[in-house]
Chain A
């Protein structure tokens, strides 16, 4: 019994010290981590809707569905949204900007794990630029990458589907 107490006590002391240390490191790094994430998001947003100067998230049930972008005079410009589709070997997550008259400004692959050198080409500018200034209804005509049809259509279809949804939502927005 006495042995057991000693074991428990030793382990407890080690755990307390460890958690104290972790708490200290966490409080030191936390603000930086949050700032980094925020900066990255801002960069992505303004890259996708370059003319907008401020963004407000539109939430539903705590989750961000899309961001609304406004210019300097607080005039509504368009939306930035996230889309995801099943590619060849992974779920491809894409962010895209949409103007209020229903055109895609640009897209950006956020995460993918497709075959390197083949499916992964969807994350290259050459493919992403094919979306620029395309009308929402024209998206199905974006050309797929030769040899990487599955990955390309995953991006095209997920962006096209989500874009139509978002377009409905922002239609009456001014």
Chain B
């Protein structure tokens, strides 16, 4: 009897024919359009960053599992996703060692130290990004201009906004297609939405976290506009920065987000509030990664208060 009760770590699956690794590879598939768009926009340097990020994430995972004499699980795709997402969160012209160190930090410190897939508290890719951001801010905030291919730098629209500049030559359409400065994987909203639609249709992610996240950011930035209440440029805030990438692909990480639908809504709301507050009043132009990481830390608490009721019992307050 004892052997039959196995408690496994999240993600928990209940559909037939699904496995953790199948879902992981599907997520990888859904991320390809955004990466392809990034390479198209920023040139081959972007491809180099992506390859370096993915390869070093996988190698780090394999080496650590070899070293600690654990089963090597690099084929489950989770390390690939981490490396991919980390690379998507970097500017295209970073030095070659930056994605390598970032992937190492993501896998070694943010994932394996906690016990590997399912045990980590924080989204590994975001933890790696924040580590790089704090350590080498010079490289992390130097963005190349779109379609220039020769190291012309340009600030992101959000950074320009933070410096109090007026954004004239940037249209919503350019933001949507990705003609702007930014990280490799975050600029082309169209490609990101295509990948997200695939995941939503297949049922790998639900709309609850991205929906409540994006809605909160839009609403909040609209209400607290620069010229008094209800004057904010909400569409600009939704389309710029890493919001779409973060909301669909990083906030929805199974391991580090709450379990229930109600929990998802609370999680998305919290992410949205934090992102908007950081963007509007914080020291950084962009706050998506910090917001998601902070809500990652709050996930156990959210789970505790949004437990589903056991059928036939009353709610008991924790």
Spell out A's residues near B (CB within 8 Å): 88, 115, 118, 147
A115 surroundings in chain B (CB, below 8 A): 137
| Chain A, interface SS category | loop
The chain B residue sitting closest to A146, CB to CB, is B138
Interface size of B by Cβ–Cβ distance < 8 Å? Answer: 4
Distance (Å) between the CB of A64 and the closest chain B CB? 34
How many residue pairs bridge A and B at CB < 8 Å?
A: 7
A118 surroundings in chain B (CB, below 8 A): 137-138
Interface membership of B73, Cβ < 8 A: no
B141 surroundings in chain A (CB, below 8 A): 147
Distance (Å) between the CB of A118 and the closest chain B CB? 6
The distance in angstroms between the C-alpha atoms of A88 and B282, with both chains bound, is 12
- Contact A147–B137 (Cβ < 8 Å): yes
Produce 1/0 per residue, B122-148, CB < 8 A to A: 000000000000000110010000000
Distance (Å) between the CB of B305 and the closest chain A CB? 35
The distance in angstroms between the C-alpha atoms of A40 and B227, with both chains bound, is 50
B138 surroundings in chain A (CB, below 8 A): 118, 147
The chain B residue sitting closest to A88, CB to CB, is B283
The distance in angstroms between the C-alpha atoms of A88 and B137, with both chains bound, is 14
The distance in angstroms between the C-alpha atoms of A115 and B136, with both chains bound, is 12
A147 surroundings in chain B (CB, below 8 A): 137-138, 141
The distance in angstroms between the C-alpha atoms of A115 and B141, with both chains bound, is 15
The distance in angstroms between the C-alpha atoms of A147 and B138, with both chains bound, is 7
The chain A residue sitting closest to B137, CB to CB, is A118
The distance in angstroms between the C-alpha atoms of A100 and B23, with both chains bound, is 74
Distance (Å) between the CB of A83 and the closest chain B CB? 23
In residues 288-310 of chain B, which contact A (Cβ within 8 Å)?
none
Which 7 residue pairs are nearest across A and B when measured between Cβ atoms? A147-B138, A118-B137, A147-B137, A147-B141, A118-B138, A88-B283, A115-B137
Query: Can you list 7 contacts pairing A with B, beta carbon distance less than 8 Å?
Result: A88-B283, A115-B137, A118-B137, A118-B138, A147-B137, A147-B138, A147-B141
The distance in angstroms between the C-alpha atoms of A88 and B162, with both chains bound, is 14
The chain B residue sitting closest to A115, CB to CB, is B137
B283 surroundings in chain A (CB, below 8 A): 88
The chain A residue sitting closest to B134, CB to CB, is A115
The chain A residue sitting closest to B142, CB to CB, is A147
B137 surroundings in chain A (CB, below 8 A): 115, 118, 147
Distance (Å) between the CB of B152 and the closest chain A CB? 15
The distance in angstroms between the C-alpha atoms of A112 and B141, with both chains bound, is 23
The chain A residue sitting closest to B136, CB to CB, is A117
Distance (Å) between the CB of B139 and the closest chain A CB? 10
Distance (Å) between the CB of B141 and the closest chain A CB? 7
Distance (Å) between the CB of A113 and the closest chain B CB? 14
The distance in angstroms between the C-alpha atoms of A147 and B141, with both chains bound, is 9
Distance (Å) between the CB of B130 and the closest chain A CB? 15
Distance (Å) between the CB of A70 and the closest chain B CB? 45
A88 surroundings in chain B (CB, below 8 A): 283
The distance in angstroms between the C-alpha atoms of A82 and B83, with both chains bound, is 50
The distance in angstroms between the C-alpha atoms of A147 and B137, with both chains bound, is 9
The distance in angstroms between the C-alpha atoms of A118 and B137, with both chains bound, is 8
The distance in angstroms between the C-alpha atoms of A118 and B142, with both chains bound, is 14
The distance in angstroms between the C-alpha atoms of A88 and B283, with both chains bound, is 9
Produce 1/0 per residue, B101-139, CB < 8 A to A: 000000000000000000000000000000000000110
The distance in angstroms between the C-alpha atoms of A115 and B138, with both chains bound, is 12
Distance (Å) between the CB of A87 and the closest chain B CB? 12
The distance in angstroms between the C-alpha atoms of A118 and B136, with both chains bound, is 9
Distance (Å) between the CB of A125 and the closest chain B CB? 20
The distance in angstroms between the C-alpha atoms of A21 and B138, with both chains bound, is 52
The distance in angstroms between the C-alpha atoms of A118 and B141, with both chains bound, is 12
Distance (Å) between the CB of A33 and the closest chain B CB? 37
The distance in angstroms between the C-alpha atoms of A118 and B135, with both chains bound, is 10
Distance (Å) between the CB of A5 and the closest chain B CB? 52
The distance in angstroms between the C-alpha atoms of A36 and B224, with both chains bound, is 53
Distance (Å) between the CB of B67 and the closest chain A CB? 32
The chain B residue sitting closest to A149, CB to CB, is B163
The distance in angstroms between the C-alpha atoms of A119 and B177, with both chains bound, is 35
The distance in angstroms between the C-alpha atoms of A88 and B284, with both chains bound, is 11
The distance in angstroms between the C-alpha atoms of A118 and B139, with both chains bound, is 12
Distance (Å) between the CB of B197 and the closest chain A CB? 38
